[in-house]
A and B are shown apart, each in its own frame.
Chain A
Amino acid sequence: MEFLNDLKDQVSTAYELLAAGWGVQLLWGIAWTLAVTVVSMLIGAVLGSLVAAAKLSHRGGLRFIGESYTTVFRGEPELLIIYLFYYGGTQVLTGVARSTGSIGSTDILSMPSFLGGVLAVGIISGAYQAEVFRGSFLAIHRGELEAARAYGMSAWLRFRLVIMPQVLRLAVPGLGNVWQLTIKDSALISVTGVAELMLTANKAARSTHHSLLFYTLAGILYLVMTSISTPIFDKAERYTSRSLLRPK
């Protein structure tokens, strides 16, 4: 019964610790995690649509660039990309600043951790989003594109009125998956010192010696975030495909 006694102790200390300020800290952690995820998704959406366009291009060179992008950023460990942007960014910034003389020759100009983390996670997210967008584009009925061309629509008009609305509709379920993936990837940028949920839980665990409690809490909070987003994306899917639903 040692197990149960342990658990009882944990629960009673949990309340004290959370009330003593760690609760607020964790809430801030959630806010940062969501901020990182949203910004990364936006960076990923821009990069993803460009890369998808490159992969669908008729030019071999562009296709090669697109293919390489998705292969590299889906094939490398996320941690490596994050280190590359954070420490690599620091290396570049320091080099530039030293050569222009704005810092001393032994000083270091570090990459802002939020920027480095968001860029890394955004670029990874972009690789997955590119695949989603590409798949959605290929799912558009060819006849619709031909009809638009037959009407004499310009390339831009075709994109705005025929391609984009349908790609967005077809991409919603896939984007939901990427969103979940990005939330989970955002936990990795704790290694660069962004005070998101994972790092906050880490700090709390180290300074209070209640690692079980805080890591369990972090796990539950991540579960809440990933499971809340499912109905939201379901709703978005219904909304974007409302014209295709059977009337009640």
Chain B
Amino acid sequence: MDFDFYLSTMWSVLKALPLTLEIWFFGIAFGLIIATGLTWLRASGYKLGEYFTRAYVFVFRGSPLLVQLYLIYFGLSQFDFVRHSPILWPILRDPMYCTIVAMALNTAAYESEIFRGALRAVPVGQIEAAKAFGMSAFTRFRLVTLPIALRLALPAYSTEIILMTKATALASVVTIMEMMGTAQKIQHDTFRPIEVLTCAGVIYLLLNLSIARLFAWVEHRLSPHLRPPPEQSRLAEPVPEVL
């Protein structure tokens, strides 16, 4: 066991963590915006909107993220209008932006399905009750449908966020030196892949476990009504004397 080597590798990979988190954060943020749009389009009731979202989900869920990334990074620059566009070209020639775009488009497809399912799972009785109270459609959505749906979407959403952490590693194939890219470089320099990849693996695992814990905590906080009530016997116990 070469302890110094593990430590120095761990430190070099950790230094690339901010870049991984940057890709992760922007991918998720833009993905959420697109997913909200898609969900709205799907729920709007327009046939055209429904066909569009169905096709979108089919395409982005049915093909590997790597193909989507290559298509965006290498493929789109074939179009002259992309290369001459003052807005598109600065985005699409940069591998970092391309990864974020690919991740956002990809996760939006999965998330829109999660949100659709959550909206459908809101109990009809709750909405009927809100109507009976005379709430307007907007108030109903803001106070009843949205909070319940968000709570219901949380478990599936946390899985999707963890899939996104794993997806950031793909940035390394388009030359980004995030954690995976850094690990690759060290591995090529030292020819000790098992040690290097184990270090990177530990960091990825800790990252994902903490994300999972965070979501579990949020879920716990948001569902006090689903927890069993504190046991009666314990409440009935006499308060122990202090010393």
Check if A and B associate: yes
Binds B, one of A14-22, A134-142, A219-227, A232-240: A219-227
Q: Is A75 in contact with B209, judged by CB distance below 8 angstroms?
A: yes
Size class of the contact patch on chain A: 35 or more
**If A72-B205, A84-B201 touch, does A79 touch B180 (CB 8 Å cutoff)?**
yes
Q: Is B194 in contact with A227, judged by CB distance below 8 angstroms?
A: no
B134 in the interface (beta carbon within 8 A): no
- Prevailing SS type, chain A contact patch: helix
- CB-CB under 8 A from A187, the residues of chain B are 64, 66-67
Q: Is B79 in contact with A6, judged by CB distance below 8 angstroms?
A: yes
- CB-CB under 8 A from A184, the residues of chain B are 63-65
B19-61 CB mask vs A (1 if < 8 Å, else 0) is 0000000000000000000000000000000000000001100
Q: Is B169 in contact with A77, judged by CB distance below 8 angstroms?
A: yes
- Prevailing SS type, chain B contact patch: helix
Q: Is B76 in contact with A212, judged by CB distance below 8 angstroms?
A: yes
Count residues of chain B with CB under 8 A from any CB of chain A: 44
- CB-CB under 8 A from B192, the residues of chain A are 91
B218 in the interface (beta carbon within 8 A): no
Bound CA span A98–B39, Å: 58
Q: Is A210 in contact with B78, judged by CB distance below 8 angstroms?
A: yes
B166 in the interface (beta carbon within 8 A): yes
Q: Is A212 in contact with B62, judged by CB distance below 8 angstroms?
A: no
Q: Is A78 in contact with B68, judged by CB distance below 8 angstroms?
A: no
9 CB contacts below 8 A, A to B, read A80-B169, A87-B197, A88-B197, A90-B193, A185-B64, A218-B67, A219-B68, A222-B62, A223-B59
Which 9 A-B pairs give the minimum distances between C-beta atoms?
A77-B169, A87-B193, A187-B64, A212-B75, A211-B74, A212-B78, A184-B64, A215-B71, A222-B63
Residues of chain A touching chain B, judged by Cβ–Cβ distance below 8 Å, are 2-3, 6, 10, 71-72, 75-80, 83-84, 87-88, 90-92, 180, 183-185, 187-188, 190-191, 198, 201-202, 205, 210-213, 215-216, 218-219, 222-223, 226-227
